[in-house]
Amino acid sequence: MMTRRSSSVTIRDVARQAGVSVATVSRFINRNAPVSAEVAERLNQVMTELRYVPHAAARNLASRKTRVIGLLLNNLHNDFFVPLLNGVEAVVRKKEYNLIVATYHANSRNAMPAPIGPHNTDGLLVFSDGLVDEDLANLNASGFPMVLVHRTSPPNLDIPSVTVENIEITHKLVEHLIQVHGKRRILFMRGPLHQEDSVRRENGYKSALAANGIPFDEKLVLNGEFERDIAFQVLNDFLSNGKQVAFDAVFTGDDDAAIGVLKALHEHRYRIPDDVAVIGFDDLGFAPFLNPPLTTVRAPTESVGRIATERLFELLENQSSNGAVVLPTEIIFRRSCGCPA
C-alpha cells in the first residue's frame, strides 16, 4: 500500500486504475468532450469503486469558478428570511450550485471585509447594507455578478435588483386606517434607518398622512429595526414613559416586529383594534393567526428569492442583465386594523 500525504483519492488514481490519462477523466466528469463508450463505462466503474469525489478547491482553482453563490444578509433575526432562503435555495440546488449564507452589516464594515465576494463565490445576492455603494461600484466595475435584493441599484450603476412595491401599497393601507377606521394618530414602527423598504414604507406613510390632512408627528416614529424583540422593547419603553403621547394605531414596517408590538400593547392592556389598530407588512405565515389576525401587506418573498437567484444565474450564463424588477404587493385585510373578522 502506497503512502500519500492526503488520504483522499484523486483524479490520478482514477486515471491510473482505468488506464487512461487524467485529461480523459476530467473530460468525462465534466462531459465537455466525447469519450469512447468503453472508457466511459470503465470510468464509471472505477469511480464508484474508488468512491472518487472531485476536490472542489482544485477544481475551483483550475477552472476559476466556485459553483457557489453567496447570500449576504444583515442578520438572521426575522422569520421573513425563511421564505426568502427557501426561494434562493431551491434554484441554487436546481443548478447544482452551493449557497453560502453570511451576515454582514454596515457597522461591521470597518472591522473586517465582507466574508464573501469574488474570492469565494461566483456571484452575490446582496440584501445587506454592509456593502455600501462604493463597494458595489468596485465589484460591478470588475464584472462581478450581483443581484440586489430588497434594495435598488445606485443611480449610475444599473445593477439588477428585485424588490417589492412599497410606497403605493403603504399609502393605501395607511389611508385605509384613516378613512375607514377613523384613525388619526398613527404610530410608525420603522426598520433600520437606511433600509430601503423601511424608507419607502415611511414615505408611503407620510404621503397618506399628508393626503388626508394629518400633520406628521415625529414623536410617533419609533425605531424597531424590523426585529421582534427590539420593537417590543422600544414600544414598551414608549408606553411606560410617564408623559405618554396619544396614538390610536400602529403601522409596523414588518410582521415580525408586529409581534413585538402586539406583545407590548397586550402587556399594557390596550384592546386591539378598538383602542389601537395594528397593521404589518410581509404577510408571514403566522399573520392570520395572531391575536387578532394581522392586517398586512402580502409580499411575495419566496418569489423574490427565486427570481433574484434566477437573474443571478442569467448573469452568470449570458452576461445579460435587465434593470429593476418590482414585484406587486397586495393588502390583506384582517381583524387587527378594525375590519370585521
Partner DNA sequence: CCGTTTACTGTAACCGTTTACATTATTTCA
Partner DNA sequence: TGAAATAATGTAAACGGTTACAGTAAACGG
Q: Which does residue 243 touch among its own copies, DNA, none (CB within 5 to 8 A, set by kind)? A: none
Task: Give DSSP secondary structure letters for 201-264.
Answer: HHHHHHHHHHHTT----GGGEEE-TT-HHHHHHHHHHHHHSSSPPP-SEEEESSHHHHHHHHHH
Q: Which of residues 226-285 bind its own copies (CB under 8 A)?
A: 228, 256, 259, 262-263, 284-285
Sign of CA dihedral 229, 233, 235, 239: positive
Cα 76 from chain centroid (whole Å): 10
Least distance to DNA, CB of residue 91, Å = 23
Contact status, residue 235 vs residue 261, Cβ threshold 8 Å: yes
Dihedral (Cα; 217, 220, 224, 230), 10-degree rounding:
150
Binding of its own copies by 3 (CB under 8 A): no
CB of 40 to DNA, least distance (A): 7
Only one residue has cell 409596523, namely 252
User: Shortest CA distance to 236 belongs to which of 275, 189, 192, 273?
Assistant: 189
76 binds, among DNA, its own copies, none (CB under 5 to 8 A by kind): its own copies
Compare residues 60 and 152 and give the one whose CB is closer to DNA. 60
Which one of residues 29, 39, 82, 106 is an interface residue with its own copies (CB under 8 A)? Answer: 82
Question: For residue 186, what are the CA distances in angstroms to 143, 232, 302?
Answer: 45, 17, 30
Q: Does 101 bind its own copies (CB under 8 A)?
A: yes
31 binds DNA, rule: CB under 7 A: no
Query: Which residue from 125, 131, 126 is spatially nearest to 112, judged by alpha carbons?
Result: 131
Could you give the C-alpha distances from 15 to 7, 10, 24, 166, 196, in angstroms and in order?
Answer: 17, 9, 8, 57, 54
- Which residue in 115, 95, 38, 100 sits closest to 69, CA to CA? 100
Among 3, 6, 156, 241, binds its own copies (CB under 8 A): 6
Decide whether 59 or 268 has the Cβ nearer to its own copies: 59
Residue with smaller CB distance to DNA, 53 or 246: 53
Considering the complex, what minimum distance in angstroms separates the CB of residue 285 from DNA? 41
Task: Enter the C-alpha cell of residue 83.
Answer: 421564505
User: Which of 50, 79, 165, 233 contacts its own copies by CB under 8 A?
Assistant: 79
Give the residue carrying C-alpha cell 423574490. 304
For residue 61, the minimal CB distance to its own copies (Å) is: 4
- Residue of 31, 38, 51, 141 that binds DNA (CB under 7 A): 38
Smallest distance, its own copies to C-beta of residue 304, A: 14
Judged by CB under 7 A, does residue 19 bind DNA?
Answer: yes
Q: Is there binding between residue 61 and DNA (CB under 7 A)?
A: yes
- CA–CA separation, 96 and 316 (whole Å): 14
Binding site for its own copies (CB under 8 A): 6-8, 53-61, 64, 66, 68, 75-79, 81-82, 85-86, 89, 93, 96, 98-103, 112-113, 115-120, 142, 228, 256, 259, 262-263, 284-286, 288-293
Residues that bind DNA (CB under 7 A): 4-6, 8, 10-12, 19-27, 29-30, 32-39, 52-55, 58-59, 61-64
